[in-house]
C-alpha cells in the first residue's frame, strides 16, 4: 500500500498547488487569532506551530490523511503490545518502561509490568547502596565517578539526559560516557579517573557489540593495573541479557540489569540503560523522567488528532518533506544543557525512518526520513542560520525554549529567549526589498551603492518553524520532550507505511568491519574486496609499520 494512492494524499497535493506561495506574513496580518488557532499544550509544554506554511484547511487535510491510514489503530497496536516490528517479530513496548499507572501491558500473552518493576526496584536498591556508601570500591573508598560504556542507544540517550539534568546531579558524583572505539575516547576519560573510586556500567544487550566490548576490555585492563581480577566485580556492572558472557567478563550476574528484546536501543534510556542517569541524578529524578514520558504517552494516546502534539508535529513533517521537498530538519534548543538533544534525535529519527522499503517489502517511491541536525542557540545563529535564512533550501526548524534557567545568578536568559523568538519571527517575516531600501536610506546609502547592496540584504522569509516553550527544564519536562519526538517519528512511519523499529541499515558495515579487522595485521591474507578497499588496507598496513 502506498499513501500516494489515497484520495487524501491527492487532495493534499492539489491543496499544496493552491497555497504553496501563500505568505505567512500575510496570513498573520489577516488573522489576529492565528496563534490561538495553531498552538496547543500538553501539561506545561506549549507547541506554537502558527509559523508554518499552513491554513486551517491544510491541517484538516493532513488529519484526514492520518485518519485514512489508520493511525489510531496503529497507536493502539503499539500500546497494547502487538508485534508491530514485523521484520524482527517483536513488540514495540518502550512505553511500558514508563507506564507509571502500572496497568498491565501484554506481550506474547504475558504481562511485562512485573518484570519492569523488578528491574526498577533493582536499580533503586543499587543506587541507594552506591549513594549511601554501602557499595564501596576495592580499597574501601566511595564511588565518585560513573563511566558508561556503550554505543548508539546505549550511549546517546543517557548521555543527553545526564547533560540536561546536570543541575540535579548528586554532590560528589560525576558521570562519563565512552562510546567511540577510537582509543582517544576511552584514554582521555581514564586519564581523569582513579580506579579505586570508579564504577563502570557496560551497556550491551547481547554483550557482543564490538565497540562496546573492546572499550570494556580496555577499561578492565586499565583497572587491573592496580587491582585483581577478583576485584573487577566491585567496579563493573552490566546492562545485558547475556549472563554467561557477563560472568566470563568478571561481573557478578547479581549486578546485571535486564533489558528486553521489545526495547529498541534508541528507545532504551527509559530502561536499565538509564542506570547511569539514576546513579548521577538519583532514582527519584529518574522516576520523574519516567513520569514526564508517561504524561506524553497519555496525551498521545488520548487526545484527538487536532489537539495531539506528536500527531501535529509528525504531519507537519510530512507536509514539508513530501510536498515542499524539504530534505533536512533542524532542532535548535535555546538551552546549553540540551547540547546533545539534537544528536539523540538524529539517531531516534534517522535510524527509525531512514527506510526505502515499505512494510510489505516493496521499494517506495517517495521521500521518508529527513536529515536531522542542530546545535544549541545562540551558537547556531553565528554558523548555519545564514543557510536557513537566505539559502536555496527549505529547512523547517524546531525552537526549544525553556523560560527559566537553572543558573539565574548569571542572568542571560532574557537575551537567550529574545534571540530564539527573534529567529523564528525573522524566518517567518523575512525582509522585503522595500524594507531594505528604507533601512539603507536611513543609514545614509544612496544611488548605485544602495542598489548594489540592496539584493544582498533581502530575506525571503516564509520559512517554517515550530516553537516548544516550557517553564523550566525539569526531569518531567525532559521526559515529555523525548517522548514527544518518539511519537512524532512513529506517526510519520505510519503515514509512510514503513517499519520505524528495525535498523537493518547498520548491519552491513558491522559485518564487513569484522572481516577487515584481522586483515589490517601484517602479512595477514586479504580477502576479496574492491580495488579501493584492498589498496587502502595495504596502505594502512604499510603506514602501521612506521
The partner residues of 107 in beta bridges, in order of sequence, read 110
State the average pLDDT over residues 284-294: 98
Q: Average pLDDT, stretch 495-505?
A: 95
Kindly report the number of other CB atoms within 10 A of residue 210's CB atom: 14
Q: What is the predicted pLDDT for the residue at 410? A: 81
Q: How far apart are CA 145 and CA 197, in angstroms?
A: 6
User: Residue 371, SS3?
Assistant: strand
pLDDT digits 0-9 by tens, 380-390: 999 999 999 99
Compute and round to an integer the Cα radius of gyration of the chain. Answer: 26
SS3 326: coil
Beta strands in 135-235 (DSSP E): 145-149, 174-178, 198-203
Residues 6+ apart with CB under 8 A from 276: 146, 148, 158, 162, 175, 177, 201
Residue 544 is placed in which grid cell? 602501521
C-alpha span between 421 and 46 (Å, rounded): 14
Per-residue model confidence as pLDDT tens digits over 119-134? 999 999 999 999 999 9
Grid coordinates in use for 508? Answer: 552491513
pLDDT tens by residue, 299-351: 999 999 999 999 999 999 999 999 999 999 999 999 999 999 999 999 999 99
Q: How far apart are CA 275 and CA 296, in angstroms?
A: 22
29: CB partners within 8 A, 6+ apart = none
Count Cβ atoms within 10 A of the Cβ of residue 441 and give its class: 0-12 exposed, 13-18 middle, 19 or more buried: exposed
Give me the half-sphere count of Cα atoms (radius 13 Å) on the Cβ side of residue 497: 19
| CA–CA distances in Å: residue 440 to residues 390, 423, 436, 450, 456 | 19, 21, 6, 7, 12
Q: Which pLDDT value is given to residue 519? A: 94
24-58 CB burial, b ≥16 within 10 A, e <16: beebbeeeeebeeebbbebebbbbbbbbbbbbeeb
Helix (H, G, I), strand (E, B) or coil at 143: coil
Give the end-to-end CA distance of the chain in Å, rounded to a whole number.
Answer: 57
Contact 224, 232 (CB under 8 A): yes
pLDDT at 546: 55
Q: Look up residue 204 and give its DSSP letter.
A: -
pLDDT in the model for residue 14: 98
For the chain, give every domain's residue range. Answer: 18-80+303-429+463-500, 95-287, 510-545
Element at 94 (helix H, strand E): helix 94-97
Residues 157 and 154: their CA atoms lie apart, in Å, by 7
| Measured distance CA(481)–CA(512) in Å, rounded | 37
In the three-class reduction of DSSP (H, G, I as helix; E, B as strand; rest coil), residue 257 is classed as strand
**Mean pLDDT throughout 196-200?**
98
User: What is this structure's pTM?
Assistant: 0.97
Average pLDDT (275-302) is: 98
pLDDT tens readout for residues 1-11: 789 999 999 99
Contacts by residues 454-460 (CB-CB < 8 Å, ≥ 24 positions apart)? 457/431, 458/430, 458/431, 458/432, 458/433, 459/389, 459/390, 459/426, 459/429, 459/430, 459/431, 460/390, 460/430
CA nearest 45: which of 295, 417, 312? Answer: 295
Reported as a pLDDT band with limits 50, 70 and 90, residue 13 is very high
d(CA 208, CA 514): 12
pLDDT of residue 408: 86
Q: How many helices (H) and strands (E) does the chain have?
A: 22, 13
C-alpha cell at 435: 524594507
What is the pLDDT, as a whole number, of residue 411? 81
- The angle subtended at Cα 440 by Cα 439 and Cα 444, nearest 5°, is 120
Q: Given the DSSP bridges, would you call strands 198-203 and 174-178 parallel, antiparallel or unpaired?
A: unpaired
* Total count of residues recorded for the chain: 546
pLDDT value of residue 52: 98
Cell of 17: 498547488
What distance in Å separates the CA atoms of residue 53 and residue 463, rounded to the nearest whole number? 8
Q: Give the tens place of pLDDT for each residue, 371-413.
A: 999 999 999 999 999 999 999 999 999 999 999 999 988 889 9
CA distance 132 to 439: 64
Q: How far apart are CA 509 and CA 529, in angstroms?
A: 13
Tell me: pLDDT of 136 over 60: yes
What CATH architecture is 95-287?
3-Layer(aba) Sandwich (3.40)
Spatial distance between the Cα atoms of 447 and 434, rounded to a whole number of angstroms: 15
Instruction: Check whether 168 has a pLDDT greater than 80.
Output: yes
| Architecture label for domain 18-80+303-429+463-500 | 3-Layer(aba) Sandwich (3.40)
Distance CA 488, CA 544 (A): 47
Give the Cα separation of 95 and 294 in Å (integer).
Answer: 7
Mean pLDDT over the full length of the chain: 96
248 Cβ contact partners less than 8 Å away, ≥ 6 residues apart: none
- In whole angstroms, what is the distance from residue 273 CA to residue 99 CA? 16
Strand partners, 40: 47
| Set of cell numbers at residue 194 | 582513579
Mean pLDDT of 366-372: 97
* Residue 409 pLDDT: 81
Residues with active-site annotation: 351, 382, 510
Which DSSP helix (H) or strand (E) runs through 110? strand 110-111
Amino acid at each position: 500500500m502506498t499513501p500516494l494512492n489515497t484520495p487524501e494524499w491527492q487532495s493534499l497535493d492539489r491543496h499544496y498547488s493552491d497555497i504553496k506561495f501563500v505568505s505567512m506574513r500575510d496570513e498573520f496580518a489577516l488573522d489576529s487569532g492565528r496563534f490561538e488557532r495553531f498552538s496547543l499544550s500538553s501539561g506545561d509544554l506549549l507547541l506554537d506551530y502558527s509559523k508554518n506554511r499552513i491554513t486551517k484547511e491544510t491541517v484538516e487535510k493532513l488529519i484526514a490523511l492520518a485518519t485514512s491510514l489508520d493511525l489510531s489503530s496503529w497507536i493502539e497496536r503499539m500500546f497494547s503490545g502487538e508485534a508491530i516490528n514485523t521484520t524482527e517479530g517483536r513488540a514495540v513496548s518502550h512505553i511500558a518502561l514508563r507506564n507509571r499507572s502500572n496497568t498491565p501491558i501484554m506481550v506474547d500473552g504475558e504481562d511485562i509490568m512485573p518484570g519492569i518493576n523488578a528491574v526498577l526496584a533493582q536499580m533503586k536498591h543499587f543506587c541507594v547502596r552506591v549513594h549511601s556508601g554501602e557499595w564501596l570500591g576495592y580499597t574501601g573508598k566511595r564511588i565518585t565517578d560513573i563511566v558508561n560504556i556503550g554505543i548508539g542507544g546505549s550511549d546517546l540517550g543517557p548521555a543527553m539526559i545526564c547533560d540536561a539534568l546536570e543541575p540535579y546531579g548528586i554532590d560528589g558524583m560525576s558521570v562519563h560516557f565512552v562510546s567511540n572505539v577510537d582509543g582517544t575516547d576511552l584514554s582521555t576519560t581514564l586519564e581523569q579517573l582513579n580506579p579505586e573510586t570508579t564504577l563502570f556500567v557496560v551497556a550491551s544487550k547481547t554483550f557482543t557489540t564490538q565497540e562496546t566490548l573492546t572499550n570494556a576490555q580496555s577499561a578492565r585492563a586499565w583497572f587491573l593495573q592496580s587491582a585483581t581480577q577478583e576485584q573487577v566485580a566491585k567496579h563493573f556492572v552490566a546492562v545485558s541479557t547475556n549472563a554467561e558472557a557477563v560472568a566470563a567478563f568478571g561481573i557478578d550476574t547479581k549486578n546485571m540489569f535486564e533489558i528486553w528484546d521489545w526495547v529498541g536501543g534508541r528507545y532504551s534510556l527509559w530502561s536499565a540503560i538509564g542506570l547511569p542517569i539514576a546513579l548521577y541524578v538519583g532514582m527519584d529524578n529518574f522516576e520523574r523522567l519516567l513520569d514526564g514520558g508517561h504524561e506524553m504517552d497519555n496525551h498521545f494516546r488520548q487526545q484527538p488528532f487536532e489537539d495531539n502534539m506528536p500527531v501535529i508535529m509528525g504531519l507537519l513533517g510530512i507536509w514539508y518533506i513530501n510536498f515542499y521537498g524539504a530534505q533536512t530538519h533542524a532542532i535548535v534548543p535555546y538551552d546549553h544543557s540540551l547540547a546533545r538533544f539534537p544528536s539523540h534525535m538524529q539517531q531516534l529519527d534517522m535510524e527509525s525512518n531512514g527506510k526505502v522499503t515499505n512494510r510489505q517489502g516493496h521499494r517506495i517511491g517517495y521521500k521518508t526520513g529527513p536529515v536531522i541536525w542542530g546545535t544549541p542557540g545562540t551558537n547556531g545563529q553565528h554558523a548555519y542560520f545564514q543557510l536557513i535564512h537566505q539559502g536555496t533550501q527549505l529547512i523547517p526548524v524546531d525552537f526549544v525554549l525553556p523560560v527559566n534557567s537553572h543558573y539565574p545568578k548569571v542572568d542571560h536568559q532574557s537575551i537567550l529567549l529574545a534571540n530564539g523568538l527573534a529567529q523564528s519571527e525573522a524566518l517567518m517575516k523575512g525582509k522585503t526589498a522595500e524594507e531594505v531600501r528604507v533601512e539603507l536610506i536611513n543609514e545614509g546609502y544612496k544611488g548605485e551603492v544602495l542598489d548594489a547592496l540592496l539584493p544582498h540584504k533581502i530575506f525571503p522569509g516564509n520559512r517554517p518553524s515550530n516553537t516548544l516553550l516550557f517553564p523550566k527544564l525539569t526531569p518531567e519536562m525532559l521526559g515529555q520532550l523525548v517522548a514527544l519526538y518518539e511519537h512524532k517519528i512513529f506517526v510519520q512511519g505510519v503515514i509512510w507505511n514503513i517499519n520505524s523499529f528495525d535498523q537493518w541499515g547498520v548491519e552491513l558495515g558491522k559485518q564487513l568491519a569484522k572481516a577487515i579487522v584481522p586483515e589490517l595485521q601484517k602479512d595477514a591474507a586479504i580477502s576479496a574486496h574492491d580495488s579501493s578497499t584492498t589498496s587502502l588496507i595495504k596502505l594502512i598496513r604499510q603506514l602501521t609499520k612506521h
